[in-house]
Every structure is written in C-alpha cells, then in structure tokens.
A and B are shown apart, each in its own frame.
Chain A
Amino acid sequence: MLRLENVRKTFLYKNAKGKESTKVAVDNMNLRIDDGEIFGLLGPNGAGKTTIIKMLTMLSRPTKGNIYYGKLNTRNDAQAIKKLIGVVPQHINFDQDLTVGENMQLHGRLHHMPRKDREQCISEMLRYVELSERVNDSVRALSGGMKRRLLIVRALMHKPSILFLDEPTVALDPQVRRRIWDLIRKMHKAGVTIVLTTHYIEEAEALCDRVAIINKGKLIALDTPKALQEKIGSYAVEWDKENGEREFKIFHSKEQAKAFANNLSQQNILRRRSNLEDVFVELTGRKVNS
C-alpha cells in the first residue's frame, strides 16, 4: 500500500526581474493507493502530476509531508523502496551514447540482475515490443514511438511490484497504444500495482480502477471512473453556441436531459451518456485534450 500524507511541494523560482517567489506545485495531498490496483492521476498541463510521480519515485523530495510504501518511508528507506519500483518517465531518458541493447543491459545491471536473467529478459521484452531487430542500433535511431515502447519494457525488466508510468502512451499510434494497454493489463494481472498519469481520458477509462483528478496541485476528486461519472450525472446534452464553440450540460435523469434538449433552440443538439471527460471539464473548467 502506498500512502501520501499531507504532501506538499513548492519550487523557488526567479521571475524576469530576478525576484524570488515560491510556486506551489502540489498542495496538501492525501492519497492511498492499494496493492494491485491501476490508479490514474488525471489533470491538465501543469496540474502537478509529474511532480507527484517524482516524489513517489524519490527523484525529488516533498517540501512537507510523508510518503509511505507500507511501513517504509521515502525519506529514510530509499534503497529498499527503489527495489520495489519501476519508473517510466514522461521524458525519454535513455543514455544517448548507448545502443538499445546496451541501455537495457545498463538497467539490468543497475538493478543487480544476474547476467543470464538479463539476456533472457532483454530478448523477451524486445520481442514483445517488436524491437528485436533494433537491439544493436543506437537509441538515437529509433522513432519516438519506438523509444516510448522501449522505455516501458525497460522499466519492467527487473519485475517491479509497483510500476509508475508518467504519460506512457503520449504520441503513440492507436495500435501501439492498445498494445501498451495490453501490456499494462498483463502486468496488472501478474499482481503489479500500477500508477499512471495521463492526458487521455479514454486511457483512464479503459485502464484505471480508480482515478484522482488533480488541478493546480490539489486533489479535487477521487473515485472509480464510473462513480465519478454518476456523481456528476449520467446524461449529457451538447449543442453549438453562437460563437461556434461546443457547450454541454449534465443531468441526473434521462427525462431532465430530454426536456432540456427539447427546449433548446440552438444548432446540432446531441443527447448522450456522460463520460469521464465531462467529469473532468465540470471539475476543472478546462479541457485536457485540446
């Protein structure tokens, strides 16, 4: 079990005039992530998702508060925790001077994997993401999507029990995205706890047992995708505004939605089920994907 207790992260930054001020990136965050779940962090750009992942993976330290892995505290038990976790960063962070295979080897060595395991695991993983032929190519020579696939299997090499993925499928084509989802589900079936951040609502809907919606460093909602959607209302009506923008309203009953739609005089009226994106827009007042 993973617990955040009153976690706060602030950054010092200088503005153009050289005056220092503090920016609150994560504010008083309390969360509990259970063993074996797929947990999603959803939020617009700059919400604080990466900052949270970095604190969870000990790449940065909370300004205040504590993070526990069971009884282990990130402040005191870093080495023990690092054995449990796998990290897929938002930023592609291969060693640019090494080949695909060498980057994997490096990871295996850093995690103290015996040579035989390493070799076997690397060929298995590369085959899974269809990069076997590229094993001796420089990582610079891979396409963006290939790099991302490699990034994910690299994090899985040492069989972590908690896997963190910061925007794992950004910039991937739909087939590859689905393959990555399958891989994540497979890991989940094998008992791995998964914590992921995403911009893609459908990703959160397709994968996550529970979703935390974060805005401006604050947790604003936390539940299963279905419960979140039911909480705001299951029925939506959409229409075109005069200025061409799309507008929508959520209702708790089908009848209310129908009545509202019938009284609208605008163009292109559409009635549909509400979804996680509606929840997101309702709660944050912004669209994530646009």
Chain B
Amino acid sequence: MLKHRMIKFILSRMVAPILYLVAFGWGLGRSINTGSGSYLDFLVPGILALNSMNIAFNSLSPLHGERVYHKSIEEYFTAPINPLSFVIGKILAAILRGMISSAIIIVLAYLFGANFMITPLFLLVLILNCAIFAEIGFYAAMTIDSYEDMGRFNTYILMPMSFLCGTFFSPDKLPKLFYYFIHALPLTHTSLLLREIGRGAPPELLSVLVLLLYTAVCFWLCARVTKKAQQ
C-alpha cells in the first residue's frame, strides 16, 4: 500500500519537470546556442536540482496533516523513541523519494541524448539537496498552522527558486544585488555543482560547503522544533 502510494506521489510530482525537459531541452533547446555544448546538457542538471527539491520538500507536506488534522504524529510522540529518530526517519524517506525520481530524470535525459557524467560527488550533491529541502519541508510542516500556508510556501518560495536558481539560465547574467541573493540560496549551488561535475569540470568546493552547512543548520532546526512540539 505504501509503495503504491510512493510511486503515485513521485509520478504526479514529476510531470512538470519532465515537461520542462521535453519542451525546453529537447524541443526548444535544440535551437539555443549556449556557446559550450547543447542547451539540453545545460538544462539537465537544473531539472535534476529543481525536481529533487520539489520531491523532497513535498514528501514532508503530509506531515502537516499528520500534525494538525489527523494528529497521527501523537503516536510517535507518546512512544518511547528518540525524537531525533523521528526526524531522521522522515528525512531519509524523503531523500529516498528524491533519489528515485532523480534516477528517472537521468534515464530520460540520456534517452533524449544528453551528455553528462555521474560521479560519487554528483550523487552526494543530489542527496544533500534532497536532505536540505526535506528538512525545510519538515520545519514548515511542524510550524505552519494552515494548509493554505503550506501551499503558499510552494507557490511563493519553491516555484520562484526552481526557475531562478541557476536551473534554466546562468545566474552570472543577473544584476549584482540579485546575483548575491540568488547565491545565498542552496538550490543555486546544487545547480551549479551538478552542471560543473556533469561536464567534467572541477567542482567549486565552497558550494559543497554551503550545502553541508545548510544541511546541518536545517537539521538542527528540525531537531529543535520536534523537541519543542513534545512540550
């Protein structure tokens, strides 16, 4: 039953990224000149980044209902388990979903004829991206009170990020102030890293550090909010 649901969940969330891949990469992209390589090759890392962000974040949105409406979260909070294992379990499940859907995108991208390399660091970056947005999803689900606000988080924060954070175009061309703002966001570093690693260029280690920092800080926030929820 759970597996069935997981597949349905992943597929429904992947319609948009796959359409981006088809429309902008395979369709429109063939006539775009990026200077180095095809636009499809440029786009695939961006799609992987935004897709894993969306899947990981939204894997945690049911937690909101579990906390506010069904209250099934009480089952966990009255059980003799470490609150941290609750946080870790939820985040690992979201990472798993994010990685399964990434695998689907990777296969499709190769079928469309994209060229990119997958190294262990490439996978690590994807995993960190899933972890960060799973944690942000967790934190949102534990603190936001209404279902509508959960939806607004998607529309006003995730949606703009999925277009602006180095996913569809290079952030180098942005105005200075905006450039710095975009570089404070984790998704930008994921896109840039995946693109560099994918085309065999040396990765920017500072970006890896930024992702690690985000992962750690967000985890700490999740742990804190979980402990507080049990008071």
A binds B: yes
> What residues of chain A have their CB less than 8 Å away from a CB belonging to chain B?
57-61, 78-80, 82-83, 85, 87, 89, 91, 93-99, 102, 106-107, 110-112, 138
Q: Are A58 and B80 in contact (CB under 8 A)?
A: no
By a CB distance below 8 angstroms, the chain A residues around B1 are 97-99, 102, 138
Residues on A with beta carbons closer than 8 Å to the beta carbon of B2: 97-98, 102
A to B contact number (C-beta, < 8 Å): 58
Question: Looking across the interface, which residue of chain A has its beta carbon closest to that of B70?
Answer: A96
Q: Is B77 an interface residue (CB 8 A)?
A: yes
Q: A61 to B74, Cβ gap below 8 A?
A: no
Q: Is B33 an interface residue (CB 8 A)?
A: no
Contact of A110 among B62, B66, B70, B81 (CB under 8 A): B81
**Distance in angstroms between the alpha carbons of A60 and B71 in the assembled complex:** 14
A59-B78, A111-B79 given; 14 more Cβ-contact pairs under 8 Å: A57-B78, A59-B230, A82-B78, A82-B80, A83-B80, A93-B72, A93-B74, A93-B75, A95-B70, A97-B2, A97-B5, A97-B62, A98-B1, A102-B1
The answer to whether A96 and B74 touch across the interface, beta carbons within 8 angstroms, is no
B227 nearest CB across to chain A (Å): 10
20 contacts between A and B (CB under 8 A): A57-B78, A58-B230, A61-B231, A79-B80, A79-B82, A85-B78, A89-B71, A93-B71, A93-B74, A93-B75, A96-B70, A96-B72, A97-B2, A97-B5, A98-B2, A102-B1, A106-B75, A107-B79, A110-B79, A110-B81
Residues of B within 8 A of A82 (CB): 78-80
Q: Annotate B1-40 by CB proximity to A: 1 below 8 A, 0 otherwise.
A: 1100100000000000000000000000000000000000
Q: Which residues of the other chain, A, contact B66 by a CB distance below 8 angstroms?
A: 95
B: residues with CB less than 8 A from A are 1-2, 5, 62, 66, 70-72, 74-82, 230-231
Q: Contact at A89–B74, with CB atoms within 8 Å?
A: yes
Name A93's closest neighbour in chain B (CB-CB): B71
Complex contacts, B231 vs chain A, CB 8 Å: 60-61
Q: Report the separation of the CA atoms of residues A80 and B80 in the bound assembly, to the nearest whole angstrom.
A: 7
Is there an interface contact between A95 and B72, defined as CB atoms closer than 8 Å? yes
Q: Is B77 a contact partner of A59 (Cβ separation < 8 A)? A: yes
In angstroms, Cα B70 to Cα A18, docked, is: 27
**Ranked 8 nearest A-B pairs via Cβ:** A110-B79, A61-B231, A82-B80, A93-B71, A95-B72, A83-B80, A87-B78, A93-B72
Q: Which residues of A contact B62 (CB under 8 A)?
A: 97
Residues in B with CB closer than 8 Å to A80 are: 80
- Asked whether B81 lies within 8 Å of A59 as measured between CB atoms, the reply is no
Q: A79-B80, A94-B70, A98-B1 are in contact. Are A110 and B75 (CB under 8 A)?
A: yes
Cβ-defined partner of B72 (8 Å) among A57, A59, A61, A94: A94
A85 to B77, CA, bound (A): 12
Distance A161 CA – B81 CA, assembled complex (angstroms) = 18
Contacts of B79 in A (CB 8 A): 82, 107, 110-111
The smallest beta-carbon distance between B142 and chain A, in angstroms, is 14
Judging by beta carbons under 8 Å apart, are B72 and A110 in contact? no
Take A78-B230, A97-B1, A97-B2 as given contacts and tell me if A91 and B81 are in contact as well, using a CB distance cutoff of 8 Å.
Answer: no
Q: How far is the CA of A61 from the CA of B72 in the complex (A)?
A: 19
Instruction: Chain B residues near A94: list those with CB within 8 A.
Output: 70, 72
Residue in chain B with minimal CB distance to A75: B231
